[in-house]
Amino acid sequence: MARLPLISPLDRALFLKAQPYLDGLPPSLLTLLAATTEEVFFPAGAHVRRARDPIDTVYFFGSGAFEIIHVDGERGAVFELTAPGVVGLTDHLAQTIVPPAVRAAVDTFCLAITTEDLDQILEDFFPLVHQIARASCDSVIRARIAQPELRSDEPGFPPDVPPAGERDPDLVECLALARRAPLLSGTNLTLLAELIESDAPERIAPGETLWRAGDPIDRMALILDGAFVNDGRHGLARAGAGATLGAWEIAATRPRFESWVAEAPSRILSIERELFIDLLEDHFEFAQTYLARIPEQITAAIRARAWRLHDARLARAAQS
């Protein structure tokens, strides 16, 4: 790694503006971000981070490429990330316990920002939180469209959560269920009540469509009981009690990318998009939790793709 002579703040702001994760930020915020970055150059083969090293810096790059190296014992699977892009952001937001190694595939110039500075700007300026949420949701959707064979069921309640029962649960019972949902676990009860108190549970009959591909994204749905299945156009997946449908696209810039249909008599709680975004703005800890859980989806997809490419290379080598 080599540090380069400073380029102008305007050049750095324009560099950051071209980054997919930052496109759309107001100029004043881009200028602030640019002022906290420094220029870094990695020659081909240079290590950005060794496996298991803590993440203390995020690197935005406009040209070149990095190799993301996932290690399992003595094996390593490599996924190449090409410009424009960012290294370290998703693993930092997701608080990845064992981050992958990263090295420069070719000569690569970056703007680097420490995670400490980035976190402070996130806390002080919600537009950056909102933009990263939008870009992250878009990344989840792109990953699911590109890798339908890797699609899995949506996570739901842990096994010890009892069924809701025939009677519609009241607010207190809904809160008890909602706080056990993977997306909402650990959420402050007062905040959780704001999220779910506006609507009574909605009953969905078997075969009824919750929403269709192409619909505008206006809400997410917490499944209290029952089951849903998607249309399979981007990989078959099911969602049972405790899953939060639409959570990974609630901030996306595009319409719904798949349909969901009830497989069994179901009850849901709707969480309106506008309310959800407002609460992200008003409660930074809640925003941090959400920003951690979207990248978990992205890093899992990247890891799975890296190992799939690794296994395919081994299979081709064995045949030759």
- Taking the chain (320 residues) in runs of 10, the rounded mean pLDDT of each run is 61 91 91 93 94 92 91 75 92 89 95 96 96 92 88 92 85 92 92 84 96 97 97 95 96 95 96 96 95 81 64 68
Residue 28 three-state SS: helix
pLDDT at position 4? 47
Separation between Cα atoms, residue 308 and residue 199, nearest integer Å: 43
Write down the domain spans for the chain: 2-124, 150-282
The CATH number assigned to the domain with range 150-282 reads 2.60.120.10
List Cα–Cα distances, 293 to 9, 136, 243, in angstroms. Answer: 33, 10, 13
Q: What is the pLDDT of residue 304?
A: 67
Burial class for 122, CB neighbours closer than 10 Å (0-12, 13-18, 19+): middle
**What is the CATH number assigned to the segment(s) 2-124?**
2.60.120.10
226 Rama class: left (phi>0) / alpha (psi -120 to 50) / beta = left
In the 3-class helix/strand/coil scheme, how is 104-137 assigned residue by residue? Answer: ECCCEEEEEEEHHHHHHHHHHCHHHHHHHHHHHH
Q: Which residue has the tokens 């809640």?
A: 286
CA torsion 248-266-196-250 (nearest 10°) is: 20
The two structure tokens encoding residue 49: 């981070």
Q: What is the CA angle 256-258-264, rounded to 5? A: 115
Dihedral sign, Cα of residue 215, residue 216, residue 219, residue 220: positive
Alpha helices in the chain (DSSP H): 9-17, 27-35, 89-94, 115-124, 126-146, 171-178, 189-196, 273-282, 284-319
**Identical topology for domains 2-124 and 150-282:** yes
State residue 1's pLDDT score: 47
Positive or negative CA dihedral for 242, 247, 248, 249? positive
Nearest C-alpha neighbor of 220 from the set 189, 241, 243:
243
What are the residues facing 190 on neighbouring strands?
none
Give me 123's structure tokens. 């806390």
Quote the pTM value: 0.87
